[in-house]
Amino acid sequence: MRSGEVARAAGVSTDTLRFYERRGLLPRPKRLANGYRAYGAQALDRVLLIQRALSVGFTLEEIARFVKARGRGSPPCREVRALAARKLEEIQSRIQEMRAFQKTLEETVEEFDARLAAAGEGEPARLLESLRPTRNTSGSALSALAFNRRRSREIS
């Protein structure tokens, strides 16, 4: 299969295929006389495997490590499972943090509503001044979330 065929079948770009080659995730294909890449039948399976692994949170570095271990004849199954479990624990922890932040934000909105109701029309309610310092000294969950969103946009 030529690179365009593999890319279309996998739903990725040809640039993605070349990137996977450079990262060692996809074996370098043979070259045809005209210089085009000619992939073997297993290339599509490998690209789909990479895409599925990415979709559940594995990084390209992790996938490359697993693929290399397979290539050496050392199945990484236990490492894959252990890493997936660590990722699950991390997600569960983040969910707990976000739930706690949700509760704090709900209470803040309720307090804002009460202050607005008590303030006369056109009078300042001093909403921002009413905010209490958080116990979390490293910043709020929301500011961390906003930073992460900004950072991911800058990287893209």
Predicted TM-score (pTM) of this structure: 0.70
Q: Which residues pair with 37 in a beta bridge?
A: 31
CA-CA distance, 146 to 129, in Å (whole number)? Answer: 22
CA-CA distance, 85 to 57, in Å (whole number)? Answer: 11
CA-CA distance, 101 to 107, in Å (whole number)? Answer: 10
Asked if 69 and 75 count as a contact pair (C-beta separation under 8 A), the reply is yes
The pLDDT tens digits for 79-92 are 999 999 999 999 99
* DSSP H helices in 1-76: 3-10, 14-22, 42-55, 60-71
Amino acid at position 147, single letter: F
Domains within the chain, CATH numbers bracketed: 3-71 (1.10.1660.10), 85-155 (no CATH)
Instruction: Calculate the CA 121 to chain-centre distance.
Output: 46
The pLDDT tens digits for 16-70 are 999 999 999 998 889 888 988 899 889 999 999 999 999 999 999 999 999 999 9
